[in-house]
Amino acid sequence: MKYVNSTLGSKPDAYFIFDITPFTRDVFKNSQDGAYPHSSTSSPLLPFLIQFCWASPSDDDIFLAELRSTRDVLFQIVLDEGQNVAGSKQIQYANYALDDTPISNLFGNNLARLKNIRQIWDPDNVMYLTGGFKL
C-alpha cells in the first residue's frame, strides 16, 4: 500500500481499512428507479471503501489529504489498466463517497429528477439540516 507509510503509520491510534462490499447481481432486481442509478446486470456491483482513521484533530488535514490522494491514485491505476469505467460504471456509492465528490458522480442521470422531487417535497430545505450531499 502506497500510503501506509512511516509518517501516517506512526501516528497514534491510526489505522486504515480497504474494503470491497459485494452486491450480488440480484440486489437491485426489484428496486429500480431509486436514487442510486443502478441497473440489474450480470455482473455484481463492488463498491470500494477507503477508510483512514486517526485520533488527533491536529492530524485532520494530513489524513484527509492522503485519503483523497489514495482515491485518486487508485482511480488512475484503474484507468491505466484499461478497465471500463465509463458512464454509469463511474457512479460512486454515496455511502462511501468523500465530501468533495460531485453529486452528478453519485446520482448520474437521476440527478435532475431527484432535484425536482426535493423541490416539491422539501422547498424549505429542512432535510439539508441533516448534512450530507446537497441536491
Query: How confident is the model at residue 20, as a pLDDT?
Result: 83
- Segment 76-106, tens digit of pLDDT: 888 888 887 766 667 788 888 888 888 888 8
pLDDT score of 3 more than 60: no
Q: What is the pTM of this model?
A: 0.70
- Segment 12-66, tens digit of pLDDT: 788 888 888 887 777 767 666 677 766 666 566 777 888 888 888 998 998 888 8
Query: How confident is the model at residue 53, as a pLDDT?
Result: 86
Name the nearest CA neighbour of 108 among 43, 28, 27, 36.
36
pLDDT score of 1 more than 50: no
- Model confidence at 123, in pLDDT bands (50, 70, 90)? very high
Task: Please count the other Cβ atoms lying within 10 Å of the Cβ belonging to residue 38.
Answer: 19
Query: How confident is the model at residue 11, as a pLDDT?
Result: 75
